[in-house]
Structure 1
Amino acid sequence: MKSLFMLTLLAANLTSNSVFAEESNDKVAFQPVAGIVVPMGGAVRGDNDELRQRLVDLAGGKGAKFVVIPTSSGSPQVTGENAAHELRRRGAQVEVLKIAPQWPGENLESARRAAADPENVAKIRAANGVYFTGGAQERYADVLNPNGVASPVLQAVRELQARGGVVAGTSAGAAIMSHVMFRDALNPLLVLKGLLRDGKEIERGLGFAGEEIFIDQHFLKRGRIGRLLAAMLAKGYKIGLGIDENTAAVIRGTDVEIVGATGALLIDLRDATVGAGPVNVSNIRISYLDNGDHYDLAKAQASVFPAKRDKGELKFRQPDFVPELENPRLDFPDILGENAIQRALSQLVDGNRDHVVGFAFSLLPAKGDPAPDLGFEFLLRRDERTRAWESTGIDGKDYSVFNARLDVRPIRMATPHYQAW
Structure 2
Amino acid sequence: MQAQEKTTAQGQLVIIGGAEDKEGDCQILREFARQSGGSNARIVIMTVATGLPGEVGEQYTRIFDRMGAEDVRVVDTSRREDGDDPRALEILREATGVFFTGGDQRRITDNLKGTEIDRLLHDRYMKEGLVIGGTSAGAAMMPDMMIAEGEPQTNPRLEVAEMEEGMAFLPGVVVDQHFAERGRLGRLLSAVVQQPVVLGFGIDENTAIVVSQDAFTVVGQGSITVVDVSKLAHSNLSQSLKDEPLALCGAILHILPDGYRFDLKKREPIWEEG
Counterpart for residue 204 of structure 1: 165
Aligned partner of 2:62 among 85, 102, 105: 85
Render the CA deviation track for 1:13-46: whole Å, top value 9, x for unaligned. Answer: xxxxxxxxxxxxxxxxxxxx94201110000111
In structure 2, C-alpha distance between the alignment counterparts of 1:189 and 1:86, rounded to whole Å? 36
| Aligned partner of 1:99 among 62, 72, 77 | 77
Deviation at 1:300, TM superposition (A): 4.0
Q: In angstroms, what is the RMSD of aligned CA positions?
A: 1.8
- Does the 8 Å CA contact 1:269/1:285 hold for their aligned counterparts? yes
Deviation string 1:284-303 (CA, Å, 9 cap, x unpaired) is 11000001111112244433
Q: 2:153 and 2:144 mapped to 1: Cα distance? A: 20
1:124 and 2:92 correspond: yes
8 Å CA contact 2:104, 2:137 repeated in 1: yes
Matches within 5 A, 1:198-237: 201-210=162-171, 212-237=172-197
1:285 maps to which residue?
252
Contact kept, 8 Å, 1:124 with 1:160, in 2: the verdict is: no
Q: What SS is found at the alignment partner of 1:77?
A: helix
Alpha-carbon distance between aligned partners in 2 of 1:48 and 1:153, rounded to the nearest angstrom: 32
TM-score for both structures, normalised by structure 1: 0.58
- Between the aligned partners of 2:166 and 2:25, the Cα distance in structure 1 is 27
Q: Distance in 2 between matches of 1:181 and 1:44?
A: 21
Residue 18 of structure 2 corresponds to 42
Alpha carbons 2:16, 2:133 under 8 Å: kept: yes
| In structure 2, distance between residues paired with 1:269 and 1:193 | 15
Cα displacement string for residues 100-148 of structure 1 (whole angstroms, at most 9, x for unaligned residues): 2xxxxxxxxxx11211101111111111111000001111111112xxx
Partner in structure 1 of residue 220 of structure 2? 260
Match of 1:157 in 2: 121
Aligned equivalent of 2:102? 134
How far apart, CA to CA, are the structure 2 residues paired with 1:229 and 1:299? 20
Structure 1: give runs of 5+ residues left out of the alignment. 1-32, 101-110, 311-421
- Tell me the residue number matched to 2:269: 302
Residues 263 and 48 (structure 1), Cα distance of their counterparts in 2 relative to 1, 3 Å cut: farther
**Whose radius of gyration is greater, 1 or 2?**
1
Between 265-274 and 292-301, the greater mean CA deviation after superposition: 292-301
Q: Quote how far apart the aligned CAs of 1:274 are.
A: 3.0
Asked whether the 8 Å contact 2:152–2:183 carries over to 1, the reply is no
Residue pair 2:153, 2:160 contacting (<8 A) in 1 also: no
SS of residue in 1 equivalent to 2:84: coil
Residue 202 of structure 1: how far off its partner (Å) = 1.9
Q: What percentage of residue pairs aligned between the two structures are identical? A: 30
- Tell me the CA shift for residue 58 of structure 1: 0.7
Q: State how many pairs are aligned.
A: 256
2:235 matched to 1:275? yes
> What does the per-residue CA deviation read over 1:162-182, in whole Å, with 9 as the maximum and x for residues that have no partner?
121111000000000011111
One-letter amino acid of the counterpart of residue 202, structure 1? M
Match status 1:170 vs 2:135: yes
Counterparts of 1:396-411 in structure 2, within 5 Å, are none
State the 1:67 CA deviation. 0.7
- Calculate the TM-score normalised by the size of structure 2: 0.88
Structure-2 separation of matches of 1:188 and 1:140: 25
For residues 246 and 274 of structure 1, do their structure 2 counterparts lie closer, same or farther at Cα, with a shift above 3 Å needed? same
* CA-CA distance at 1:233 after TM superposition: 0.5
Change (3 A) 1:303 1:193: closer
> Can you give the 5+ residue segments of structure 2 that lack an aligned partner in the other structure?
1-8, 241-245
Rounded to whole Å, the distance in 2 between the matches of 1:141 and 1:274 is 34
Deviations 1:326-361 (A, max 9, x none): xxxxxxxxxxxxxxxxxxxxxxxxxxxxxxxxxxxx
Give the 3 Å change call, closer, same or farther, for CA 84–274 of structure 1 in structure 2.
Answer: farther
Shift of 1:48: 4.1
Are residue 242 (structure 1) and residue 207 (structure 2) matched? no
User: Separation in 1 of the partners of 2:132 and 2:108?
Assistant: 14
